[in-house]
Structure 1
Amino acid sequence: MIQLLTTKVETYKNYIDGKWVDSQAGATFQSVNPANKDDIVGGFQASSKQDVKDAIEAASRAFPAWAQASPSKRAAILNKAAALLEQNVDQLAEELTREEGKIIGAAKQEVLRSAETLRYYAIEGQSFTGETFPNDDPNMKVTTEREPLGVITVITPWNFPLSIPARKIAPALITGNTVVFKPSSDTPLIAYRLVEALHKAGIPKGVINFITGSSSDIGDSLVNHPAVRAVTFTGSTSAGEHIHKNTSFTTRTQMELGGKNPLIVMDDADIDLAADLTVNGGFNLTGQACTGTSRVLVMKGLKERYVQKLIEKTSALKIGDGFENGVIIGPLANEKQLKNVLKYIEIGKEEGATLVYGGRQLAYGKYEKGYYVEPAIFTNVTADMRIAKEEIFGPVVAVIEVESYEEAITIANNVEYGLSAAIVTNNLKIAHRFTKDIQAGTVKVNRTTTGNLMNAPFGGLKRSSTSTFRESGRVGLEFFTQVKTVYIGC
């Protein structure tokens, strides 16, 4: 829920048609620091449906000229914006940590990764073109051309509030589309900074538009306006399904949604590596990654040693404010996340799983004003338990004992999600089998379930995605273009 503005703080504006403007509704809300809920990051516009309409109409007016702009002009703007992000990395990382809660090192990496994404698409977009087809008529030429779609609505989450917008907005802009961008209300400031960088880089008015506010108030208006040609969204599966159902059949959608990502630990696995991958995949970013490790399917003979090693490594993790030296686990992003994680920890206990480590809310001393919880490790988990099937989006790992590779694959695939999966093994034959047997869009061997290359496709299967167009990499440009086939004879 958005917290209404009650104290005097700096208030940031929407960006519509090349101008920084207040919402016509006249209302604002606060973004707070999850490490200290008394620390107000800033005030932001609680936008109205009229603001959305204005933003979409501005983007629609700007589209014809931007679609005709040279690829080098578009690329130059992306490169200038990237340079601004890099030049201000320290400030932006501090704002990101304060607003989202992630540790400062991860925040710096995200800022630099976002700048790299803008540069990547500035290059790739200039060579993204159609094809020429051979035919039997020597006096005819047959080609395809890739054209921009028009107005794109971009809706993004709070866990990677700079890098996810960058990997959506950059390919949209370089291919000649115009954008209406709504970030999460938990992290609007760092999103504001991205738009500010594009503004300072000289982007023409109306090409990028930025509005903040509650999805319950303006979400439908962002996706069902007849001028919106495509919607790209990252967030929960339930929200993605709602968006998908509320768009016209002529509106293209790209939905990257939830996950319940498994890590399989085979008999021949390096236990140290398996435990490290679990900790990194399950507890980094406080477990708030759609590709985070939430289930570990470990062979019976290794289970006790693996769990002991996992507890040992988890207990060494320092919890605290992301600015504090040595901290690995920061706060959860908001009170809703905290309540949800604590709820699932209780559900796990009630279902009969054994909580062998952590799971307590930390609400004393330096933790008193933040949304902190210890990472939780459950054993004696069965595949039918809710903590083994439902996305928690927090630092909770369910360890499931299995007796064979076949059993592990069956359990791993028997969920509604299919985003990311990994296996720990030295058996090359098993590794190859796993890459074919597992139902996931991202598959890894001896690596964590989290993380993806900027230049490689990313996306899920089943209810983790619409599985239509992938994000990231060169194929990430395809969603934002349509193909026209041209026959020229003489």
Structure 2
Amino acid sequence: MTKTYHNYVDGEWVGSTTGETFETTNPAAPDEVVAEYPAAGDEDAERAIRAANEAASAWAATPGPERGAILRRAAGILDDRSEELTERLTAEEGKTHAEAGGEVQRAVDIFYYFAEQARDLAGERKAASGPDTNLYTREEPVGVAALITPWNYPIAIPAWKLAPALAAGTTAVLKPASLAPGPAVELFEALDEAGLPDGVANVVTASGSTGSYMVAHEDVDAVSFTGSTAVGTQVYETAVDRGARAQCEMGGKNPTVVAADADPAAAAEIVAAGGFGVTGQACTACSRAIVHEDVHDEFVSELVAAAEPIEIGPGDEYDMGPQVSETELEGTLDYVDVAADDGATLATGGGRPAGDRFGDGYFVEPTVFTDVDRDDRIAQEEVFGPVVAVIEVGDFEEAVAVANDSDYGLSASVVTDDHTTANRFIDEVEAGVAKVNEKTTGLELHVPFGGVKDSSTETWREQGRRGLDFYTLTKTVYDNF
């Protein structure tokens, strides 16, 4: 049954001023309509921004523990509805039931985490040079934030932008990606039931052009964006040119280095989890396995052996779901052709699976290429599908050089039994996240997250206590008595 959603503006569930709507469909069965949404336009965004501005002063003056209590109640509501949300996410974005359930739980945990963080936003007391001065800092809300989020983590990323903003006393307008906006809108249903004051948080379902309107709006004080590097660069330039603060987390070409002393089977398991999990549709997905020549052949055999048994199909029953759209599927298949044209060897996968259960769904096989040169397009460009390029190297120095030979620098990992090698990798790799004996995907919510180079604007980090910094301004007070 198709669900009908509305925009949430100034505490009310409303349609679009355009009167138009759009539908989302199930990527495992594209003829199946999942939900209907208002096709918001600039006027809708204007109303939401105005509501956020009008609510900003009162929300900033609301004590932190009271703001946290609302987030805590919302977390409980989300937790109670976790199975429903999981099914919605699977139907609209295509993740497996287990992957969608994990993402929903992460959103719940994020709301609980920032509910507690809201208690500690009082600033710091410092020692003054003179005897008659109280010297301290205050953390104050930045104002109004525009939040623009992608389709690949449709509830977790909105949660990790929205929760710290609200905890900090900043009001917000969220525009989720139109391929899978439902889980994000569900966050606002929970906040509404939890007693969030009118106008404090607003959501509009709209195209990218309305997002551009929000970024350029003079009453938006801060812009947080997650998405492609090409769009993120434009978002950042537009925001900072008018004096707003901006943070953008963007693409990745994430490597896993497999050292000479690594267990090939264990390394293959790590790479497969990072490369094929969530159908490769993660900015932190492993797309390059950089493997020492001593273990290369055995590693390739183990990686193929890990890829081939993966059961593909609708996410509510199988190991790997579809890609989110026909465009994403075609992009992945195009890169398969590009890799072959560049001389890489297809070790497994590379096509659409055949069988009745796949129907017209956007399914693709987990794919491994070998004989990949570090300069090949498959080794340099973000694919955003379940494709791993294996690059053979002669020593650790070459491995790190290849890992760093990328415009991106988001997540990177090394598989090794030698802690000296691990420490060298941590010191030398150019990435915002460095992991040892672990897949490139997967993040702890209480530590900072972000990239370097073209993966990030390198301004503010998200998540953890550092995630609050973007939504607050520091005022230093000299109180002489």
Q: What range describes the TM-score normalised by the shorter chain of this pair?
A: over 0.9
For residues 275 and 451 of structure 2, the distance between their equivalents in structure 1, rounded to whole angstroms, comes to 18
1:238 correspondence with 2:230: yes
1:483 correspondence with 2:465: no
For residues 30 and 190 of structure 2, the distance between their equivalents in structure 1, rounded to whole angstroms, comes to 28
For residues 462 and 399 of structure 2, the distance between their equivalents in structure 1, rounded to whole angstroms, comes to 29
Pick from 133, 136, 144 the counterpart of residue 143 of structure 1: 136
Residue identity in the other structure for 1:453: E
Deviation at 1:219, TM superposition (A): 1.8
Deviation at 1:9, TM superposition (A): 4.4
Residue in structure 1 matched with residue 146 of structure 2 by the alignment = 153
For residues 20 and 353 of structure 2, the distance between their equivalents in structure 1, rounded to whole angstroms, comes to 34
Residue in structure 2 matched with residue 3 of structure 1 by the alignment = none
Report matched runs for 1:282-431 at 5 Å. 282-324=275-317, 327-362=318-353, 364-431=355-422
Report matched runs for 1:110-149 at 5 Å. 110-149=103-142
Residue identity in the other structure for 1:449: T
Residue identity in the other structure for 1:375: P
Q: 1:266, 1:298 within 8 Å by CA — same for their partners in 2?
A: yes
SS of the residue aligned with 1:15? strand
Report matched runs for 1:22-61 at 5 Å. 22-61=15-54
Q: 2:307, 2:367 within 8 Å by CA — same for their partners in 1?
A: no
SS of the residue aligned with 1:484? strand
For residues 242 and 213 of structure 2, the distance between their equivalents in structure 1, rounded to whole angstroms, comes to 16
Residue in structure 2 matched with residue 211 of structure 1 by the alignment = 204
For residues 446 and 11 of structure 1, the distance between their equivalents in structure 2, rounded to whole angstroms, comes to 44
Deviation at 1:363, TM superposition (A): 5.5
Pick from 163, 169, 176 the counterpart of residue 176 of structure 1: 169
For residues 141 and 312 of structure 1, the distance between their equivalents in structure 2, rounded to whole angstroms, comes to 66
Residue identity in the other structure for 2:49: I
Q: 2:145, 2:224 within 8 Å by CA — same for their partners in 1?
A: yes
SS of the residue aligned with 1:444? strand
After superposition, the C-alpha distances for 1:114-149 in whole angstroms (9 at most, x for unaligned) are: 111101011112113322222221111221111001
For residues 244 and 466 of structure 1, the distance between their equivalents in structure 2, rounded to whole angstroms, comes to 8
Specify every segment of 5 or more residues in structure 2 that has no aligned partner in the other structure, as ranges.
none
SS of the residue aligned with 1:263? strand
1:86 correspondence with 2:87: no
Q: 1:363, 1:372 within 8 Å by CA — same for their partners in 2?
A: no
SS of the residue aligned with 1:185? coil
Residue in structure 1 matched with residue 446 of structure 2 by the alignment = 455
For residues 291 and 2 of structure 2, the distance between their equivalents in structure 1, rounded to whole angstroms, comes to 50
Residue in structure 2 matched with residue 5 of structure 1 by the alignment = none
Residue identity in the other structure for 1:132: R
Deviation at 1:322, TM superposition (A): 0.6
Q: How many residues align?
A: 480
SS of the residue aligned with 1:409? helix
Residue identity in the other structure for 1:147: E
Deviation at 1:10, TM superposition (A): 3.9
SS of the residue aligned with 2:406? coil
Q: 2:138, 2:477 within 8 Å by CA — same for their partners in 1?
A: yes
Pick from 441, 445, 457 the counterpart of residue 436 of structure 2: 445
Residue in structure 2 matched with residue 185 of structure 1 by the alignment = 178
Q: 2:414, 2:437 within 8 Å by CA — same for their partners in 1?
A: yes
Q: 1:363, 1:369 within 8 Å by CA — same for their partners in 2?
A: no
Q: 2:409, 2:451 within 8 Å by CA — same for their partners in 1?
A: yes
For residues 50 and 354 of structure 2, the distance between their equivalents in structure 1, rounded to whole angstroms, comes to 47
For residues 220 and 394 of structure 1, the distance between their equivalents in structure 2, rounded to whole angstroms, comes to 27
Q: Percent identity?
A: 45
Q: TM-score, normalised by structure 2?
A: 0.98
For residues 14 and 200 of structure 2, the distance between their equivalents in structure 1, rounded to whole angstroms, comes to 16
Q: 2:26, 2:34 within 8 Å by CA — same for their partners in 1?
A: yes
1:197 correspondence with 2:187: no
Residue identity in the other structure for 1:339: E
For residues 354 and 168 of structure 2, the distance between their equivalents in structure 1, rounded to whole angstroms, comes to 48
Q: 2:24, 2:36 within 8 Å by CA — same for their partners in 1?
A: yes
Specify every segment of 5 or more residues in structure 1 that has no aligned partner in the other structure, as ranges.
1-7
After superposition, the C-alpha distances for 1:378-407 in whole angstroms (9 at most, x for unaligned) are: 000001100000000100000000001000
SS of the residue aligned with 2:221? strand
Report matched runs for 1:454-473 at 5 Å. 454-473=445-464
Deviation at 1:11, TM superposition (A): 2.7
Q: 1:362, 1:368 within 8 Å by CA — same for their partners in 2?
A: no
Residue identity in the other structure for 2:47: D
SS of the residue aligned with 1:82? helix
Q: 2:139, 2:475 within 8 Å by CA — same for their partners in 1?
A: yes
Report matched runs for 1:239-278 at 5 Å. 239-247=231-239, 248-278=241-271
1:435 correspondence with 2:430: no
Deviation at 1:249, TM superposition (A): 4.1
Q: 2:332, 2:385 within 8 Å by CA — same for their partners in 1?
A: yes
Residue identity in the other structure for 2:472: T
For residues 464 and 369 of structure 2, the distance between their equivalents in structure 1, rounded to whole angstroms, comes to 36
Q: 1:363, 1:370 within 8 Å by CA — same for their partners in 2?
A: no
